[in-house]
Amino acid sequence: MKTLEESIEYTTNKKKNQISRLENSHFHQSIEDLKLFLETGKGIGSSSLKIEYLGAWYHWNFIYKYLVDQEIKYDLLSASTYYNLECNNWCYFLGKWKENFKSATSFTKSIKHLGQMLYLGQKEDAIQYGYFLLKMLYGKQYDGWIVFPTHPWFLLELFCRWQNINLDYEKLNYPNNLGVYQSALDNWNTIDTQLLSDNIDSLTKFHIAQSDEDEQGNANDENGDGYDLEFTSADYFIFPIEILMWLAIRRDLGLPEYRASSQNKLMQMEINQLPTKKISKHEDTLIEKCKNKLMQENPDITFEL
């Protein structure tokens, strides 16, 4: 997108379309399919997709509710984050059961869900999930992952520096450089508020310019592979979780707070202010019952989360 205003307009229209068109498939049918698994055991593999659908559904509503009604419904984001976490939890369980099963939510999405947990103040759960994602990164689920896009590597590096974790770069398909993110990473724990503001202004301009769902096949797609832009989902066009995760980590460390500069309209948006208190983790008895059924049928295997 060229401007924040374009991002807002596009995102509003896209979320409206998704919510109205996909309510049955992503919400109602997903719940019915999970109930069917609970009753009959059918759909073990596809259940992870249904859980992921629920995560997407709640995220769409979180973004749309803010853009249309100017309400920040943290409970919607907490629900979205919970379902996406449980999707990977389910997939990893099946991967331990079936040697050839290695499906999972993409690392590009999953690391953002970790960022959302930190944004919501769910620190302990976020740390546990971060270590879980590292297992997947080195394992068959992500197999060292891919070089592009770059921002998930920035998020991973932030988590590891925060938790004093040394990455094994020989096992990773790490990018040659992190581009605009390198300066932010070099100064991730700076106490210089002007330097912090300058870095976030740079990341914000990059975020807006690199947000587009219609990239593939057009002039922006230089390689013809659909992967030339960093942000290709409107779920995050006006919700820069890569910046918010950084700010959440800084807050946890007691570093100087960030104040958006006068020209940074994206970071001035209310949705991009960290919540002042921890948002409770979402719970769903249907998901827990489905997990219990899977464990009863595979007593030698446990869930990681």
**Res 189 pLDDT > 60:** yes
* Cα angle for residues 266, 174, 122 (degrees, 5° grid): 50
- Predicted local confidence at residue 223, as pLDDT: 42
Least confident among 163-167, 268-272, 292-296: 292-296
The type of residue at 40 is T
- Predicted local confidence at residue 224, as pLDDT: 45
- Predicted local confidence at residue 214, as pLDDT: 74
Least confident among 173-182, 221-230, 269-278: 221-230
- Predicted local confidence at residue 49, as pLDDT: 94
- Predicted local confidence at residue 43, as pLDDT: 87
- Predicted local confidence at residue 74, as pLDDT: 98
Percent of the chain having pLDDT more than 90?
90
* Contact by Cβ (8 Å): 202, 183: yes
- Predicted local confidence at residue 217, as pLDDT: 46
Overall average pLDDT of the 187-201 stretch: 97
pLDDT in tens, 14-58: 999 999 999 999 999 999 999 999 999 888 889 999 999 999 999
- Predicted local confidence at residue 228, as pLDDT: 77
DSSP characters for 10-72?
A: HHHHHHHHHHHHHHIIIIIHHHHHHHHHHHH---TTTHHHHHHHHHHHHHHHHHHHHHHH---
Map tokens 């709640």 to a residue.
Answer: 58
- Predicted local confidence at residue 45, as pLDDT: 84
pLDDT in tens, 206-253: 999 999 987 554 444 444 444 578 999 999 999 999 999 999 999 999
Any idea of the CA torsion for 220, 182, 157, 137, to the nearest 10 degrees? 40
Overall average pLDDT of the 145-167 stretch: 96
Q: Cα-atom radius of gyration of the chain, to the nearest Å?
A: 19
Percent of the chain having pLDDT more than 70?
96
Map tokens 């401007």 to a residue.
Answer: 3
- Predicted local confidence at residue 12, as pLDDT: 97
pTM for the complete prediction? 0.93
